[in-house]
Each structure stands twice: as C-alpha cells, then as structure tokens.
Amino acid sequence: MASLAILPTGKLFSKNANAKLKLAIIGVGERGSMHLDLLLKRDDVDVVAVCDVDGKVIERAKRYISKSGKKMAQFFTDGSDAWKKMLEIKGGIDGIVIATPWECHKEMIISSIESGIKYVGTEVMLGITLQDHWDVVKATEKYNAHVMMLENVCYRRDVMAALNMVRQGLFGEMIHLQGGYQHDLREVKFNDGIHPYGHGVEFGEKGYSEAHWRTEHSVHRNGDLYPTHGIGPIAHYININRGNRFLTLSSLSSKSRGLHNHIVKGGGENHPNAKVNFKLGDVVTTSISCANGESILLQHDTSLPRPYSLGFRVQGTEGLWMDVNNGVYLQGKTAKDEEWDDAKIWFDKYDHPLWARWSKETTGAGHGGMDFFVIHSFIESIKRNVPTPMDVYDAATWSAITPLSEQSIELGNETIDFPDFTGGKWMYRKPVFALTDEY
C-alpha cells in the first residue's frame, strides 16, 4: 500500500503543518499488530510508544517498525501496569489505540483520558458492566475527550453501499433491521497455547491470544457477548443517537452444547476442559425497539459449526437487502417481481464515496480493506481536531447491549429499558458518519 500523505487544509495540524501525530498503542496481539501495521504505513503518524505484556508480540512489533524504516518507538513491557508509565512519556501523545482484552478497556480508556490524551481509539467493547459504560461516558464528557470504538464493520464495502442506498431512499422508510455475530469461534476460543487459532482445546492459562482470555467470558457470562459488528452498521442506517434511539431490549438464549462438544471431539471425554460448564448459550437472540418505530433482531452465534455471516437485513417500505443470500429487492426497480437481484448490481452502482475514493489505499489492510477506514477516520479526526465520526455515545450504546442482554436473560428474557447515554441529546444530534468521501 502506498504511504498516505494527506494534504493539510487550513484546519489541520494547527501548530505546525509538517508535524506528525504521536500515536501510542496498548496491546499488539493479533488485532493491535494490524493497527500498528496500518499506522506505520501513514506519513502523518509516528508511533512513539508501544505497550504489551507479552515479549513475543513485542518482538514482532519491533520487526514491523524496523521494516517500516520509521524511528523505533519506546516500549513498555514490564508488567500489567506498564501502560500507566507509557501514559507519562515526555512530549505527549496525540492519540492512543487500545487493543487489549475486553476487561482491560475501561480502565485503560479512562486513565488515558485523565492523563490528558484527547483521542482514544478502543477496540470493540467499552467495558464489562453497564456501570463501566457510564463511567467511560462521564469521563469523556468531563475531560472533553473523544473516544471512538474502532468498529471496522461499519466500513465494510457492502455495508457502506447499503448505507448510501438507505440515505438515498431506495429502501423507503426503514422498518426492520437484522445483524449479529455469526462466526464459528471454536478454533479461536481453544488452541494449543502456541498458535492463535486451533491445534488444541486449551484455554485460560494454557491458551494463547483470545483463548487466553476471551473463552473465560463464555464460561461465566450468558448474553450477546459481541454485538458491535452487527449493531454498528444498523445504528448508522437508522441514525441511533442522532434523531433516534434504542428504547428496550430483550434477549433469549439457547442451551449450550457447541464448546463442550468441541473439547470432547478434540481432546477426548477425559480432557480436564470437558468438565467445564459453559454459561454462554450457543445462539443468543436479542430484539431491540427504537424510538422511531423500527425493530431490530441481533444474533450471537459463535459456538456451532457454520460459515461466517453477519446476517444483515436492511428492510424498508420499498424493499430490502439481505446479506446471507446476497440479494437486493426493490419494488418496481429490481429486474423481476418478487425475485432477488444480485446485490452486486446495486452495490456497484451505489458504492459509497469513501470506497470510491480510497479503495486503492485499502489494499493489504485487514478484513477486506475495511480496517484501513477505521484507522483513517480516527487519525483524520485528530488532525482536524474534530469529534470522531463514531463517538463515545455510539460506543457505549452498542457495547452496552452485552450487559443488558445478560440482565434480560438472567431475569427470564425480561424486557429491559435501554439507557440513554446522550442524556436527551439524541433528539438534537445530527448524523455525521461518512457524509463525504474524506474520512
């Protein structure tokens, strides 16, 4: 991918037009190393500090930086609190990227803000409990900071083309939306302690990467543990927190079989992990009602054999897009009555301006190129000293689905009121996400 030297406008880099942003990263595991790689490809960024507790991934990060030809960063590796030292580095940090286990995010986000960092890009999930989400929102407001969840699926090419079509009214008035996280994670949640994916049925202390920490959430929690890839795009389609909001939520869980069966299949009935009881139901279904009358269905389905699909359905008064059959139907516009058009016909025509402009730069970026945009948006917002296009209210609203769904299931699928993290501001806020081809 070519280096990016985005042209400064009057508002950019207010102090010095040639200055580069000073970026830091906490967590350079499987995900953080991808962010590091993207940051190193940019001419407008210096990665000045990197923190991780794992020496192996630190060595990989050093190799990435050496290969980029950029100045070596300062490294912080000494224990699980080393990141706190990093926040004190001389010369300051313009923005920080956090890609650590979910349970670390809240403290790392809030401490970063308290240390004076104005821009925090956090990987998905803002916290664990509902209170964690409120704490992050309140700290962000208090310090006038910007917290962006690095929700990359919002930038997926088909998702953005569908957004373009929604905004141009092709589907009519929005009525019903579906999405979720339908991804067989059995080889992510269990491995041999060496490879990040598969080769064994270990987790926890004996697991590596996400098997080291993520699987514990499936042991102890039952809810939609990963809602943001589905709900982020849906929230943009119907302007959540910007003229609309989630009102209520209710979740339903199936029984749990998939993770146990996977252990028995790979490690035998006598493997110690075969005794573990997984609280997480194999399929968790969540329904959400909205102030403007739309209904939403989300599914979390990560423990059973299945092909990957986020299962989007975007349905309005004039037609719909369905992800799983890759079909678009628009009354009076698609080729035949009551038959699907291949979605490609429509998505090529309504390619989002961001993709039309930047698709060359996405080459080599993860997840089909969409990872480029999420980092690009974060960096361009810092340069312009403006709010990020997805802000702390979006992050809290999407991520809070997890504790709310846990609560609903615990209470026998009770319908829970959805908190309004904007404190009523949703009524006046205007959509800002991807309105132009800039970032």
Ligand X SMILES: NC(=O)c1ccc[n+]([C@@H]2O[C@H](COP(=O)([O-])OP(=O)(O)OC[C@H]3O[C@@H](n4cnc5c(N)ncnc54)[C@H](O)[C@@H]3O)[C@@H](O)[C@H]2O)c1
Interacting residue ranges for ligand X, rule: CB under 6 A: 26-27, 29-32, 51-54, 57, 80, 83, 99-102, 104, 123-125, 152, 209-210, 212, 367
| Of residues 148 and 328, the one with the C-beta less far from ligand X | 148
- Asked if 177 contacts 315 with a C-beta cutoff of 8 angstroms, the reply is yes
Nearest 5°: the CA angle 294, 151, 237 is: 25
In the complex, least distance from residue 416 CB atom to ligand X, rounded to whole angstroms: 23
**Tokens found for residue 129:** 């409990």
Tell me whether residue 272 or residue 368 sits nearer to ligand X (CB atom).
368
Looking only at the bridges linking them, the beta strands covering 341-342 and 327-330 are: antiparallel
At residue 19, the 3 state secondary structure works out as: coil
CA distance 224 to 226: 6
Kindly state the tokens that stand for 135: 């704490």
For ligand X, the closer of residues 124 and 160 by Cβ is 124
Minimum distance of ligand X from residue 26's CB (angstroms): 5
Q: Report the nearest approach of ligand X to the CB of residue 101 (Å).
A: 5
Beta strands 327-330 and 319-322, pairing class: antiparallel
From 293, 171, 170, select the one nearest 243 (Cα to Cα): 293
DSSP letter (8 states) at residue 13: S
**In this structure, which amino acid lies at residue 376?**
H
Rounded to a whole number of angstroms, the minimum distance from the CB of residue 64 to ligand X is 14
CB closer to ligand X, 26 vs 145 = 26
Q: Which residue is nearest to ligand X (CB)?
A: 29
Rounded distance between C-alpha atoms, residue 327 and residue 318, angstroms? 14
- On whether the CB atoms of residues 127 and 105 are closer than 8 A, the answer is yes
> Given the complex with ligand X, which of 217 and 245 has the nearer CB atom?
217
Q: How far is the CB of 331 from ligand X (least distance, A)?
A: 35
Nearer to ligand X by Cβ, of 312 and 329: the residue is 312
Q: What is the spatial distance between Cα 43 and Cα 56, in angstroms, rounded to a whole number?
A: 27
Q: Which is nearer to ligand X, 87 or 125 (CB)?
A: 125
Smallest distance from ligand X to CB 2, Å: 23
Contact yes or no for 110/395 (Cβ under 8 A): no
Q: What CA–CA distance (Å, rounded) separates 200 from 360?
A: 38
**Residue 366 half-sphere exposure, CB side, CA atoms within 13 Å?**
17
Instruction: Work out how close the CB of 241 gets to ligand X at its nearest, in angstroms, rounded to a whole number.
Output: 20
Query: Which of residues 31 and 352 has its CB atom nearest to ligand X in the complex?
Result: 31
Q: Where are the alpha helices (DSSP H) in 128-199?
A: 130-142, 157-167, 186-189
Nearest distance in Å: CB 434, ligand X: 17
